[in-house]
């Protein structure tokens, strides 16, 4: 039985996934990451149609992992999930909002490369209005392929992180015998109330929301977190880059902190930006590599669209970001993307 099949079966049973199943999933993902060459993760994608117009129906939220890409605790299993998406402006007393796509900027912005693209993304991030809501929601499409085990799984994963400490996780299977089955479950917040995993480093909501809003400050913030487990100063420096990108992809950083994170990456030798690319949903952005992971960045909106391993490898994984942001909507089983 594939891991996805077992996941759905276990989720539909009272009590959620067993320790044995959790261990199996973790082992498979660890083996996959170890077997992969130092490959990049596909870029993170913004919700909306390829031409940047308002979608006919709202798109969903997300998570990840490839190589050293961002990791999210999904359904308490530690399944990979990752990046950026549409931030929903919410008033606590308002009806549940629908995500919207920011107006398109000139296509020439996508021709920017290197530091110019990062600086354009920083400007876009700073201009986005702050938002709020009852839950921080991340909705993604996760794909996992393992040729030797004949696994080709695809599913929507959705997580709700409540300000009150509550946590909900949902899955909709998009392939295999359980295709179409969807479930949502309430559980404990991962990592003892520090649910935001950025490069395997857990953060609380308070820690994320209080991240420094200057390039120097947020760089030191990331280095402190990376240095706690890094084996060398050089590795901590590289890990800090990846941690900042992970935060840009899926964490509730303030607009000014997001802008600072982009500016802190300018001039970094391990960060490469350039060339246009399309994500699996047809959205266009700029190729963006940091820490050995490949992303797709839309500098017009500052959103990361997609990330994943190179295609054609024996084992591949990817995360496509559909929605990331605050919402007042109540947790429900994930809908089709």
pLDDT per position as a tens digit, 256-301: 999 999 999 999 988 888 889 999 999 999 998 887 788 999 999 9
In a domain, 287, yes or no: yes
Query: What does the pLDDT average to over 192-210?
Result: 86
Whether residue 315 lies inside any domain: the answer is yes
Instruction: Report pLDDT for 101.
Output: 35
Residues spanned by the domain of 258? 3-327
At residue 5, the pLDDT reads 52
In a domain, 40, yes or no: yes
* DSSP designation for 176: S
- 189 within domain boundaries: yes
Listing DSSP states for 219-267 in one string gives HHHHHHHHHTT-SSHHHHHHHHHHHHHHHHHHS---HHHHHHHHHHHTT
Residue 336 lies in a domain: no
From CA 38, how far away is CA 79, in angstroms rounded? 20
Q: Give pairs for 18-27: CB < 8 Å, separation 24+.
A: 22/76, 22/77, 22/78, 25/77, 25/78, 25/79, 26/77, 26/78
Number of domains observed in the structure of the chain: 1
Measured CA to CA, the distance from residue 146 to residue 163 in angstroms comes to 37
* Helices (H), ranges, 12-128: 19-35, 114-127
Is there a domain that residue 322 lies in? yes
pLDDT at 92 over 60: no
Residues in CB range of 334: below 8 A, 6 or more apart: 60, 139, 156, 157, 158, 170, 171, 172, 182, 184
Q: Is 337 within a domain?
A: no
Residue 38 has pLDDT above 70, yes or no: no
96-150 pLDDT, tens per residue?
333 333 444 455 778 787 889 999 999 999 999 888 999 999 999 999 988 888 8
pLDDT of residue 31: 45
Question: 72 lies in a domain?
Answer: yes
């Amino acid at each position: 039985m594939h891991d996805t099949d077992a996941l759905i079966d276990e989720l539909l049973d009272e009590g959620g996934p067993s320790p044995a199943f959790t261990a199996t999933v973790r082992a498979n993902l660890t083996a996959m990451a170890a077997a992969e060459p130092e490959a990049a993760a596909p870029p993170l994608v913004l919700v909306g149609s390829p031409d940047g117009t308002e979608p006919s129906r709202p798109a969903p939220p997300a998570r990840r992992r490839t190589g050293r890409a961002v990791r999210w605790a999904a359904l308490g299993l530690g399944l990979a999930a990752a990046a950026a998406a549409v931030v929903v402006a919410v008033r606590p007393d308002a009806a549940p909002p629908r995500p919207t796509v920011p107006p398109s900027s000139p296509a020439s912005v996508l021709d920017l490369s290197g530091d110019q693209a990062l600086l354009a993304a920083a400007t876009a991030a700073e201009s986005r209005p702050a938002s709020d809501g009852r839950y921080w929601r991340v909705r993604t499409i996760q794909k996992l392929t393992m040729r030797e085990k004949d696994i080709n799984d695809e599913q929507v994963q959705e997580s709700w992180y409540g300000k009150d400490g509550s946590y909900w996780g949902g899955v909709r299977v998009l392939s295999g015998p359980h295709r179409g089955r969807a479930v949502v479950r309430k559980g404990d917040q991962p990592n003892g109330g520090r649910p935001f995993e950025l490069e395997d480093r857990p953060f609380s909501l308070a820690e994320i929301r209080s991240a420094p809003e200057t390039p120097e400050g947020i760089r030191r913030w990331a280095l402190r977190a990376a240095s706690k487990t890094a084996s060398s100063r050089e590795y901590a420096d590289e890990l800090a880059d990846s941690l900042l990108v992970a935060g840009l992809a899926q964490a509730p950083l303030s607009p000014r902190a997001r802008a600072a994170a982009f500016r802190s990456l300018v001039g970094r030798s391990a960060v490469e930006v350039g060339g246009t690319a399309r994500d699996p949903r047809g959205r266009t952005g700029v190729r963006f590599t940091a820490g050995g992971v490949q992303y797709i960045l839309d500098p017009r909106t500052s959103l990361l669209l997609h990330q994943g391993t190179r295609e054609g490898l024996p084992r591949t994984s990817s995360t496509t970001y559909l929605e990331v942001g605050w919402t007042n909507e109540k947790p429900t089983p994930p809908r089709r993307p």
